[in-house]
Amino acid sequence: MAGRGIISLFMLRPAERAMRIERQFRVSTTVASAPNETTGAKIIDGRAVAKKMRADQRVQVDALKAAGVVPGLAVVLVGDDPASALYVSNKIKACEAVGITSFTHRRPATIGNEELLDLIQTLNADESVHGILVQLPLPKHIDMARVLETIAPEKDVDGFHLYNVGALVVGRQIFPPCTPYGVMNLLKYEGIPVEGRNVVVVGASNIVGKPMALMLMAQDATVAICHAKTRDLGQWTILADILVVAAGVPNLIVPQMVKSGVVVIDVGINRLPNGKVVGDVDFEGVRKKASYITPVPGGVGPMTITMLIDNTILSAERHAQSMRAAQPGA
> Where in the sequence numbering do the catalytic residues fall?
91, 135, 158
**Rg of the chain taking only CA atoms, in angstroms:** 22
Distance of CA 136 to the CA centre of its chain: 15
- One-character DSSP codes across 30-73: PSSPPPBTTTBSEE--HHHHHHHHHHHHHHHHHHHHHTT---EE
Q: Which residues, listed in sequence order, are joined to residue 264 by a DSSP beta bridge?
A: 243, 293
Directed axis angle between helix 301-326 and helix 46-66, to 10°?
A: 20
* H/E stretch holding 105: strand 101-107
Q: Which amino acid does the sequence have at 17?
A: R
Which residues, other chains included, contact 156 with Cβ-Cβ below 8 Å and sequence gap of 6+?
132, 148, 163, 164, 174, 175
- One-character DSSP codes across 197-252: -EEEEE---TTTHHHHHHHHHHTT-EEEEE-TT-SSHHHHHTT-SEEEE-S--TT-
According to DSSP, the β-strands at 292-293 and 263-266 are: parallel
Rounded CA-CA distance 281/264 in Å is: 9
Of 237, 235, 159, residue with least CA distance to 198 = 237
Rounded CA-CA distance 107/117 in Å is: 12
Of 119, 96, 97, 93, residue with least CA distance to 106 = 119
Which residues, other chains included, contact 88 with Cβ-Cβ below 8 Å and sequence gap of 6+?
75, 77, 104, 135
